[in-house]
Amino acid sequence: MVKAIVGACWGDEGKGKITDMLAEKADIVIRFQGGSNAGHTIINDYGKFALHQMPSGVFNPNTVNIIGTGVAFNVPYFMKEMSYLVDNGIKNPKILISDRAQLLMPYHIAFDTYEEARLSDKQFGSTKSGIAPFYSDKYAKVGIQVCHLFHEAELMERIEAACTIKNVLLEHLYHQPTLDPKAIFDEVIQYRDMIAPYVVNTAEYLDKAIKEGKEILLEGQLGALKDPDHGIFPMTTSSSTLAGFAAVGAGIPARSIEKVYTVAKAYSSAVGGGAFVSEIFGDEAQELRVRGGDAGEFGATTGRPRRMGWFDCVATRYGCMMQGTTDVAFTAIDVLSYLDEIKVCVGYEIDGVVTKEFPVTPLLEKAKPVYETLEGWKCDVRGITDFNELPEKAQNYVTFVEKELGYPITIVSNGPKRSEIIYR
Ligand code: GDP
């Protein structure tokens, strides 16, 4: 069976934990989009890990982890993560890399930095991992695929073509040193030896695996609101974060995806700019940030303090809808245990009219939250594994949200560890 694990909102919902947990029984875990620009934090028997480019199935010795075609593949970063895993006792993680995945080039990172500097106070708050320049090149057809590393003449030709365009921008727009195609070739050709043992035709591999009925997980990065088509454009990422795209980015038939687990956190947090309707500030935000610990405090990639807010049913329902959710995994309810009362955003007021539909960005900027206030449960809920044993007010919180979303919450996560989970 093929299952996608994707985010409902801005990312940082706890997809890493859910993927790691489901990966215990998975034959294959696939990353299908994004790059090293967002992180997963995973706590399991081996310790605590922050992964960015690696699929979260690397901790299971029987799971094959695939870098899908849709990924922005940063080879040096990938090798760094591989050493980090091996140094921490993860022996020989099983990895396959799509021969059609495209390479994140050193100049993509440079361009990301130059462009943010040029935009100055209008910048996107990019992680400067080269993601936007990478996908721009891919769709402008000046990208370089993994397979080109094994065809030197074509590789050189493609680097020269890319440099011709880039050098004009470097000289006249950014006023930076120009690129030397030969130097880039010499650097990039070293990638070949690093990754050669892992490169395969993943489409054929997956076709066979699906026919054999293997358990396959598609691991999304960020969330629905960061999708460039359906999210809070332009404060989005540059590749699709939706389960619908997972089929494309992995290279499997769309109809093969049977389950979509959409991960939603029991409160909101976001890194980077953009409208955030249920955002809270000051001491109230700081308390939630600190209580959230790893789940709240800092972005896994940038270390930036996250923006905090109450749970947003409007945004999350929309996110679940766009993901084609079959199951909601509702995470981090333990973080809310300190609150006497918990606010939940159930509508947006825009120009005096209340709506439950997630609006386009210019209207989103104007939206004011409409809250309902629920009673807090005021006790520790970690360690509970049966939904009926949760305090009644915690159960109410979950069922209230479920009703607002209109999608079944079948997994409740009440702590960062793999075992801290309630199935409904
Ligand atoms: P992702 O971007 O969706 O993969 O988010 P992460 O995997 O980075 O998760 C954010 C943080 O939440 C990590 O530090 C996790 O360890 C933590 N986390 C996940 N689930 C829970 C939970 O149920 N409770 C608490 N307290 N933390 C959680």
Question: In the listed set 194, 211, 229, which residue is the last one of a domain according to the structure?
Answer: 194
Distance 184 CA to ligand 1 centre (A): 38
Looking up residue 179, the CATH number of its domain turns out to be: 1.10.300.10
Considering Cα of 278, then 281, then 286, then 287, what sign does the dihedral take?
negative
Q: Does the beta carbon of 241 lie inside 6 Å of ligand 1?
A: no
Which of 20, 40, 227, 230 is flagged as catalytic? 40
Lowest-confidence range among 115-119, 157-161, 182-186, 381-385? 115-119
Distance 329 CA to ligand 1 centre (A): 12
255 & 360 share domain? no
Question: In the listed set 168, 194, 220, which residue is the last one of a domain according to the structure?
Answer: 194
* Ligand 1: residue whose CA is nearest its atom 28: 416
Q: Does the beta carbon of 415 lie inside 6 Å of ligand 1?
A: yes
pTM comes to 0.94
The arithmetic mean of pLDDT across residues 303-315, rounded, is 90
Q: Does the beta carbon of 133 lie inside 6 Å of ligand 1?
A: no
Confidence of residue 106 (pLDDT cuts 50, 70, 90): very high
Q: Does the beta carbon of 17 lie inside 6 Å of ligand 1?
A: yes
Select from 217, 294, 337 the residue to mutate for testing ligand 1; criterion: most ligand atoms less than 8 Å from CB.
294
- Mean pLDDT taken over the chain: 93
Does 73 score more than 70 pLDDT? Answer: yes
66 & 179 share domain? no
Q: Which residue has the tokens 């245990």?
A: 337
Does 201 score more than 90 pLDDT? Answer: yes
Q: Which atom of ligand 1 is nearest to the CA of 294?
A: 14
Q: Which domain holds residue 156?
A: 102-194
232 & 246 share domain? yes
Q: Does the beta carbon of 335 lie inside 6 Å of ligand 1?
A: yes
Does 204 score more than 90 pLDDT? Answer: yes
Select from 21, 37, 41 the residue to mutate for testing ligand 1; criterion: most ligand atoms less than 8 Å from CB.
41
Domain count, the chain: 3
Confidence of residue 303 (pLDDT cuts 50, 70, 90): low
pLDDT in tens, 8-65: 999 989 998 898 889 889 999 999 999 887 777 788 888 888 888 999 899 888 999 9
User: Known catalytic residue: 40?
Assistant: yes
Distance 58 CA to ligand 1 centre (A): 17
The pLDDT assigned to 227 comes to: 97
343 & 271 share domain? yes
Does 174 score more than 90 pLDDT? Answer: yes
Does 134 score more than 60 pLDDT? Answer: yes
Question: In the listed set 236, 261, 286, which residue is the last one of a domain according to the structure?
Answer: 261
CA distances (Å), 106 to each of 76, 119, 133, 135, in order? Answer: 10, 21, 11, 14
Q: Does the beta carbon of 244 lie inside 6 Å of ligand 1?
A: no
186 & 257 share domain? no
Distance 47 CA to ligand 1 centre (A): 14
The arithmetic mean of pLDDT across residues 355-371, rounded, is 97
The pLDDT assigned to 299 comes to: 57
165 & 72 share domain? no
Lowest-confidence range among 15-19, 279-283, 403-407? 15-19
Q: Does the beta carbon of 40 lie inside 6 Å of ligand 1?
A: yes
32 & 68 share domain? yes
* Ligand 1: residue whose CA is nearest its atom 21: 416
240 & 107 share domain? no
The pLDDT assigned to 273 comes to: 79
Looking up residue 43, the CATH number of its domain turns out to be: 3.40.440.10
Looking up residue 405, the CATH number of its domain turns out to be: 3.90.170.10
203 & 249 share domain? yes
Distance 29 CA to ligand 1 centre (A): 18
224 & 177 share domain? no
139 & 272 share domain? no
The arithmetic mean of pLDDT across residues 389-408, rounded, is 98
416 & 307 share domain? yes
